[in-house]
Structure 1
Amino acid sequence: MKWQGRRGSRNIEDRRRAGGKAQVGGLGLLAVLAIGYFLGVDVTPFLQDGGAIGGGGGGGEITEADKQAGEFVSVTLADTEDVWDDLFRTQVGQAYNPVTLVLYKGVTQSPCGGASGATGPFYCPGDNKVYLDTSFFTTLSRQLGARGDFAAAYVVAHEVAHHVQDELGILGQANAIRAQVSDAEANAISVRIELQADCYSGIWAREVQARFGTLERGDIAEAMNAARQIGDDTLQRNAGRVPMPHTFTHGTSAQRQAWFVRGYETGDMRSCDTFSAEAL
């Protein structure tokens, strides 16, 4: 992905120097973090109760790698702004309000709860912001096996896609229904939310190439590999568990790949209607 020297977004809230410091250690902590990564559960309260994480913000030294990751995220976010601004105008008929992305290091707070390395990147509809500890890119590459800069860009684009859903009113309606049904039914709705975000991410990838020509050989393969590595079935299997479909919240590897491809091939937001699809 050609990103160096390109426009960065102004909608970045950098909390990496906010003070406080994450302190981690012990096999028990590693087990708790694994739960967070594999199941999408915010385990920050458990870490705080056990004294594993202290402080209310990020902090620590900002390394050269941190700086580069921040620049990369800023450029990727700027690309989402340009793409979705035009798509909302041409396909939706309304203005797009860009999302703010919070960069942090260690831990920080959001209206949706604590954010830490245990939560992974997420979109919070409470303040319309994406939260991202760029150290997750290292986890994505080394622990989850999703290497490459476009794999990281896919993660950013996926979280921005949740904001797109929020702007369209889809996310609010889906979450309102989830709050009124059983856990299994809520999980099934969550899968449709996530697969639609994957589809929107595919549209974003298509438009980035069409508008800016920044994709390089192998970039789409990196995104497809990332989608495979973070499928619910693959995560549960890699955690030593038998995949349990009723607990899935993001979709299988095959589903995530398929919906990304659908968005990439069609470029049409209407093709991403996972909620009307009989089969995912």
Structure 2
Amino acid sequence: MTTELTLLNDRMPRLGWLDIAERKSGAIRLAPAEAQPEPKNLRRIKSEVQRRWGVVPLVDMRKEAVLRTGCLDAVTSVSGGGSLSAEVLAERLLLVIYAYGTNTGIKAVASGGHGHTEDELRYVRRRYLTPETARQIAIEIANATFAARSTELWGQGSTAVASDSTHVRAYDQNLFTEWHSRYGGRGVLIYWHVEKKSLAIHSQLINCTASEVAAMAEGAMRHGTTMDVEANYTDSHGQSEIEFGVTRLLNFDLLPRIKRINNVKLYRPVAGEPDAYPQLTPALTRPIRWELIAQ
């Protein structure tokens, strides 16, 4: 850690976006980040995709993913049996996943001209589509996407994810519904882990009062895909001082946005060297008590 602080101290004069000085509002100040330029060929790619494929229905995209990945092959009944043929089961699972994934609802989806009734779809939902099954389907699609990506087009595989929660409103009668003070409404929280190229590798249901710090570590450890997570970007709610040490032990870097960074204090690595890091002095406080950490 002493070496890292020394390097940081040496590089400080060249960081135009960082200013550390004595001030009442806090020692650390970050300059606003400048907007990055739009990639040179982005508009041309969008135009070509629109010209070649136009608007593709979402259910057709899901069907193509199922055919290419075989993600429904391992789906079995919760009772271990089942008399439905593989083709019929796949069609009904596609419709049920579409109903829940788009929030359209099974009743509305059942009104289409596909030949499957609402009762048949609800039966498949109860007997086949468990939370664990849905998670395994998502893992299969993610792994197939990683394997199919061309490095010439997409570059090397990503090793970083970004995580955050989404507040989903729910009826009061739902046993999981809670009031969330920050979002100002009743519902539940879904905590997502999304890799650099916008593919979700993990999602989990958490309570509105639960710590997002624990959810961040849980998803980075137990996403179940072939991705090797080496870094996790998150917001202020997904980080804590203790978690910086925990993620280091778990062998991935915690890279949060700290909202109140102007109030952050840095601890000196050793005692007796008050002038060792002159560029960091305004933000430094007492030495670290290593003996307490060892205990």
**TM-score, normalized by the shorter chain, greater than 0.5:** no
Which of the two has greater helix per residue? 1
The structure number with the bigger radius of gyration is: 2
Which of the two has greater strand per residue? 2
Structure 1 length normalisation: TM-score? Answer: 0.24
Structure 2 length normalisation: TM-score? Answer: 0.23
